[in-house]
Amino acid sequence: MKKLYYDIFDTKLCQVLLVWNNDWLKILEMKFLDELEKDFKINENWEENNDFFTDIREQILEYFDWKRKKFNIKLNLDWTDFQKKVWEQLIKIPYWETASYKEIATKVWNSKASRAVWLANNKNPIPIIIPCHRVIWSDWKLTWFAHWIGNKQKLLDLEK
């Protein structure tokens, strides 16, 4: 098993935790500014190391400063085949746009699998880079994201 490294840094909207294993990004977690009293759960086997994250940190900061719309980061998509198919579709949703769970379900399985897509979306370990915040219900209602619906709206507003 490869050693895992982590870094925590601030953006204009949130704190970000990154976890990397020398090959790819495994985890991206966010704590929005109104949630800073919550602590990230740092595994005791992870080692803090900012050196691994220079490029990734720069890309994420550029995203929050409206200078980046796509990421060039090697990701660990070592999950179920269905989750991978869903996340591959999420990456294709353009900046400034949204897609419905039903649209994604139609592309990966069948149009009646919206709930399965929602569950896969909910397990996304690398939000923003795999833009799960861009997926909404067909009636344009938002769903939970990073602890509450308002966080999803903050990211969608950032992209407008």
| Residues taking part in catalysis | 132
Tell me the DSSP string of 103-143: HHHHHHS-TT-HHHHHHHHHT-SSTTTS-GGGEE-TTS---
Are 52 and 20 within 8 A, CB to CB? yes
Q: Which residues of 91-101 are buried (b: 16+ CB within 10 A; e: fewer)?
A: eebeeeebbbb
Cα diameter, the chain:
45
